Chain A
Amino acid sequence: MSFLSIRNLSVRLKKGPSLLRRVSLDVAAGEVRGLVGESGAGKSMIGKAVLGILPPSIEVTGGEILLDGVDLLQLPPAQRRKRIGATCALIPQDPLTALNPSHRIGPQITDRLVDILGWTRPDAETRARELLAEVQIADPDRVLRSYPHELSGGMRQRILIASAFAAEPKLIVADEPTTALDVTVQKQILKLIAGMQARHNTALLFVTHDLGVVSKVCQKLSVLYAGMVVEDATVADFFAAPRHAYSAALLAATPKYTDPSAGLQPVPDAVIAAVQAEVAAFDKGLAHG
C-alpha cells in the first residue's frame, strides 16, 4: 500500500474558484514522484494540503489524504499536526526565507526532535552533527552555532535538507528545492537530495518545472493542469510515450537535455484550448452532479 494516497482531493478559494480538481495520486514507501505543471497549476497546493499548511483563505471541499492509511482530513487538528510532524517533512523552495533569522541553526534542526518527538537534547545535537556531515557541511559545530545570515544560500539549503531528514520521515515534500539557488549549486543540491532519499529510503513528492530533473530523480510523475491531474504515469512510460496531448506538448516544450540545440517549442494553442475545455467540462460536471 502507498504511504501517501491522495483521493479525489478538491480545494478551492473560500467562496471562490477551484484550485485543485479531484486530484488523486499515490506515493509508495521509498518512491519518488514528480509533480509537474506550469506556474499556478496547483503543485505547491498539493504539497501544502498534505503537510496541513493550506492558507486560511483556502478550504478543502472534498476527498481524502491518506497517510499510512489514515485520512488526515478526518483527524482533529492537534493529532493531524503531530502525525504530520512525526512522519513528514518539507524541503522548501527558498532557503533564504525558510530559516528563522533570530534562532541559531542548531535548534532549527533539533527543535522537532526535542519538542515534538521527545528526544533528549544531547541526542538531538549528536544527530544534528551527523546530519550536517551527511549533507557535506565541513564544520558542523561552527555551523550549528551560526545564525542563518552568516551562511550562503547553498549552505542554508543543505541545512534545510538535513533538518527535513532529521526525524527519519516516511515522506518528504520538496517544493522546487533548487529554483532559488545559483545554477552552479543546483546540480549539487539535486544530487544531495537524490542521494539522501535513496539512502534513507524516503518517499519523496518532488515539485518541479523541469522534466529533465524528473527523468533523473523520479520513478513516477503526475502532470497537473489547472488543478487537474491530466497524466499519471511511470517516468519510463511518460518519456517513451506521453498519453495526454497536454503532457506531450509539455514534453515537447522542454529542451532535450541530451540535445539542447533542439530549442524550445511552446505548448500549441490548440492543446491549451483542448485542456481548458476539459477543465470547463469538469467544472460543469461538478455543478450538475
Chain B
Amino acid sequence: MPILRILLVRLLTTAITLAGVAVIVFFVIRVVPGNPIAMMLPPGATEEDIARLSALYGLDKPLIAQFGIWVSGVLQGDFGTSITTRQPVLDLVLGRLPATLELSIMALVMAMILGGAAALTGTRYRGGRTEGAIDVANGMALSVPDFLWGLVLILLFGVLVPVFHISGRVTPSLDLPFTTNFYLFESLLRLRFDLWADIVAHMFMPALALAIPLAAIIGQLLKQSLKETMNLDYVTLARTKGYGETRVILREALRNAALPTLTLVGVQFTFLIGGTVIIERLFSYEGLGNMAIDAVINRDLPLIQGIVILFAVIFTAVNLIVDLLYTVLNPRLRHG
C-alpha cells in the first residue's frame, strides 16, 4: 500500500523538518538586535522596569533554557503568549489561519483555471497566432512579481474602475453571523450570498495578484507537456477513431500531460503561500502574513515563532497532498 508508506515516511521527515525549523527560527530571531520589552514600554521606562518585565516573559534566562521551556510548551500544545497582545499565540495564529488558507486556495483555483485555459487554448491552436499571443501574455505575467501585480490591480480595479475592494477581508459595517473564521466557506454554507459576494469582492484582487505568476507557470508548463503528449502514438490512434482535436486534447492528452505539471504546481503553491505575507499587507487583509509582519515589527518573539512553525506545517502538508494526488492520478503508482 504505497499511500500508507508515503504517509509514514512523510510523518517522520515532517517531524525532523519541523524540529530543524524550530531551532533555526528560535535562535535567529534572538540574534537579530531589538528588545521586545523595550519596545513595549513607554519611552520613560527605567532599566529596572525592563528587567522586571523581561523576567516575567522568561527573557532573562539563558537562551538554551528559554529554548527548552518553549519546546516543552510546544510539545504540550502551548506556543506561549504573544508579548504585544498578551493572548495565547496558538489562538492568535489559528484565528488568522482560515483567512490565509482561503486566500491561498482561491488564488490556486484562479491560477489553475487561468493557466489551464491558457494551456488548452494554446495547444488547441498551436503553431498559430493564438499560441503566440498566449506565450507573450505568459511571459509578461511571469516577468512581474505578485506584489507588483497587486499594485497594478489596485490601480485598475480599485482606482480607475473601482469594482473591487482594495482593503480588508469584509466590509466592517456588516453583521457577521459566523462561528468560524472561514468566512468564504461559511457564508456559502449559510447561503448568505450577500456576504459571500462581499467577501469575494475583497479577496478577488489579492487572490488574482497571487494567481497571475502561478497561472503563467502552469500555462507554460502544461502547454509544453500537452504539445509533447499530442505527438504520442495513443493520441494519433485516437484521431483515427474519429475524435476531433478538442476531444483528443481533453480525453487523451490532458490527464497524462497534467501529471508532470502537478509536482511543480505543488512547489509553486508553497511559494504562493509565502507571497501572501506581502500581498496581505498590501491589501490590509487580516491573515497570517499580515500578522507576521506586525509580529516582526514589534519583536513579538513567541508570535513570530508560532507563525513560522505554522507556515512550515502548511508547506509540508501541501507537499504531502501533492504526492498523494500524484499517486492517485498515476495508475502505474497506484498498483505498484
Residues of chain B within 8 A (CB-CB) of A55 are 231
Q: Which of A88, A97, A101, A149 contacts B240 (CB 8 A)?
A: A88
Chain A 22-56 per-residue mask, 1 if CB under 8 angstroms from chain B, else 0: 00000000000000000000000000000111011
Chain B 305-336 per-residue mask, 1 if CB under 8 angstroms from chain A, else 0: 00000000000000000000000011110010
User: Are B234 and A52 neighbours in the complex by a CB distance under 8 Å?
Assistant: no
Q: Among B4-12, B31-39, B241-249, B269-277, which stretch is in contact with chain A?
A: B241-249
Determine whether A82 belongs to the interface, using a CB cutoff of 8 Å to chain B.
Answer: yes
Residues of chain A within 8 A (CB-CB) of B256 are 100-102
Residues of chain A within 8 A (CB-CB) of B247 are 115
User: Are B242 and A86 neighbours in the complex by a CB distance under 8 Å?
Assistant: yes
User: Are B237 and A92 neighbours in the complex by a CB distance under 8 Å?
Assistant: yes
User: Are A78 and B240 neighbours in the complex by a CB distance under 8 Å?
Assistant: no
User: Are B241 and A111 neighbours in the complex by a CB distance under 8 Å?
Assistant: yes
Residues of chain B within 8 A (CB-CB) of A115 are 241-243, 247
User: Are B242 and A85 neighbours in the complex by a CB distance under 8 Å?
Assistant: yes
Residues of B187-235 contacting chain A, CB below 8 A? 231-234
Known A-B contacts A94-B233, A102-B256; the reply to A53 vs B241 at CB < 8 A is: no
In this complex, what residue of A is CB-closest to B245? Answer: A77
Determine whether A267 belongs to the interface, using a CB cutoff of 8 Å to chain B.
Answer: no
A99 vs B238: C-alpha distance when bound (angstroms): 9
Residues of B233-270 contacting chain A, CB below 8 A? 233-234, 236-244, 247, 251-252, 255-256
Q: Which of A51, A56, A98, A147 contacts B127 (CB 8 A)?
A: A56
Residues of chain A within 8 A (CB-CB) of B234 are 97-101
Q: Which of B233, B237, B255 contacts A102 (CB 8 A)?
A: B255
Residues of chain A within 8 A (CB-CB) of B239 are 51-53, 81
Residues of chain B within 8 A (CB-CB) of A81 are 239, 242-244
In this complex, what residue of A is CB-closest to B231? Answer: A55
A116 vs B251: C-alpha distance when bound (angstroms): 13
A115 vs B331: C-alpha distance when bound (angstroms): 23
- Determine how close the nearest CB of chain A comes to the CB of B122; give it in whole angstroms: 15
Residues of chain B within 8 A (CB-CB) of A131 are none
User: Are B242 and A92 neighbours in the complex by a CB distance under 8 Å?
Assistant: no
Residues of B122-163 contacting chain A, CB below 8 A? 127
Residues of chain A within 8 A (CB-CB) of B331 are 101-102, 147, 149
A115 vs B335: C-alpha distance when bound (angstroms): 28
Residues of chain A within 8 A (CB-CB) of B233 are 92, 94, 97-98
Determine whether A66 belongs to the interface, using a CB cutoff of 8 Å to chain B.
Answer: no
Q: In this complex, which of A98, A100, A116, A160 has the most chain B Cβ atoms within 10 angstroms of its Cβ? A: A100
Residues of chain B within 8 A (CB-CB) of A233 are none
Residues of chain A within 8 A (CB-CB) of B335 are 147, 150
Residues of chain B within 8 A (CB-CB) of A89 are 240-241
- Determine how close the nearest CB of chain A comes to the CB of B228; give it in whole angstroms: 13
A102 vs B255: C-alpha distance when bound (angstroms): 7
Known A-B contacts A102-B331, A150-B335; the reply to A112 vs B242 at CB < 8 A is: yes
Residues of chain A within 8 A (CB-CB) of B232 are 97
A243 vs B241: C-alpha distance when bound (angstroms): 38
Determine whether A90 belongs to the interface, using a CB cutoff of 8 Å to chain B.
Answer: yes
User: Are A116 and B127 neighbours in the complex by a CB distance under 8 Å?
Assistant: no
Classify chain A's interface size.
20 to 34
In this complex, what residue of B is CB-closest to A96? Answer: B233
A86 vs B244: C-alpha distance when bound (angstroms): 13
A98 vs B240: C-alpha distance when bound (angstroms): 12
Residues of chain A within 8 A (CB-CB) of B243 are 81, 85, 115-116
A53 vs B252: C-alpha distance when bound (angstroms): 16
Determine whether A253 belongs to the interface, using a CB cutoff of 8 Å to chain B.
Answer: no
Determine whether A84 belongs to the interface, using a CB cutoff of 8 Å to chain B.
Answer: yes
Chain A 136-170 per-residue mask, 1 if CB under 8 angstroms from chain B, else 0: 00000000000101100000000010000000000
Residues of chain A within 8 A (CB-CB) of B252 are 100
User: Are B330 and A102 neighbours in the complex by a CB distance under 8 Å?
Assistant: yes
Known A-B contacts A98-B234, A101-B256; the reply to A149 vs B332 at CB < 8 A is: yes
Chain B 56-70 per-residue mask, 1 if CB under 8 angstroms from chain A, else 0: 000000000000000
Chain A 43-77 per-residue mask, 1 if CB under 8 angstroms from chain B, else 0: 00000000111011000000000000000000000
Residues of B11-62 contacting chain A, CB below 8 A? none
Q: Which of B237, B240, B255, B332 contacts A52 (CB 8 A)?
A: B240
In this complex, what residue of A is CB-closest to B330? Answer: A102
A84 vs B329: C-alpha distance when bound (angstroms): 32
- Determine how close the nearest CB of chain B comes to the CB of A57; give it in whole angstroms: 9
A86 vs B332: C-alpha distance when bound (angstroms): 32
A85 vs B239: C-alpha distance when bound (angstroms): 8
Residues of chain A within 8 A (CB-CB) of B330 are 102
User: Are B236 and A78 neighbours in the complex by a CB distance under 8 Å?
Assistant: no
- Determine how close the nearest CB of chain B comes to the CB of A91; give it in whole angstroms: 10
- Determine how close the nearest CB of chain B comes to the CB of A173; give it in whole angstroms: 8
User: Are A84 and B332 neighbours in the complex by a CB distance under 8 Å?
Assistant: no
A19 vs B233: C-alpha distance when bound (angstroms): 21
A97-B234, A98-B234 given; 11 more Cβ-contact pairs under 8 Å: A51-B240, A81-B242, A82-B242, A88-B240, A97-B232, A98-B233, A99-B234, A101-B234, A116-B243, A150-B335, A160-B237
Interface positions of A (Cβ within 8 A of B): 51-53, 55-56, 78, 81-82, 84-86, 88-90, 92, 94, 97-102, 111-112, 115-116, 147, 149-150, 160
Q: List 17 A-B contacts (CB under 8 A).
A: A53-B239, A55-B231, A56-B127, A84-B240, A84-B242, A85-B241, A86-B242, A89-B240, A92-B237, A100-B234, A100-B256, A102-B329, A102-B330, A102-B331, A111-B241, A115-B242, A160-B237
Closest 3 CB pairs of A and B: A85-B242, A116-B242, A97-B233
Interface positions of B (Cβ within 8 A of A): 127, 231-234, 236-244, 247, 251-252, 255-256, 329-332, 335
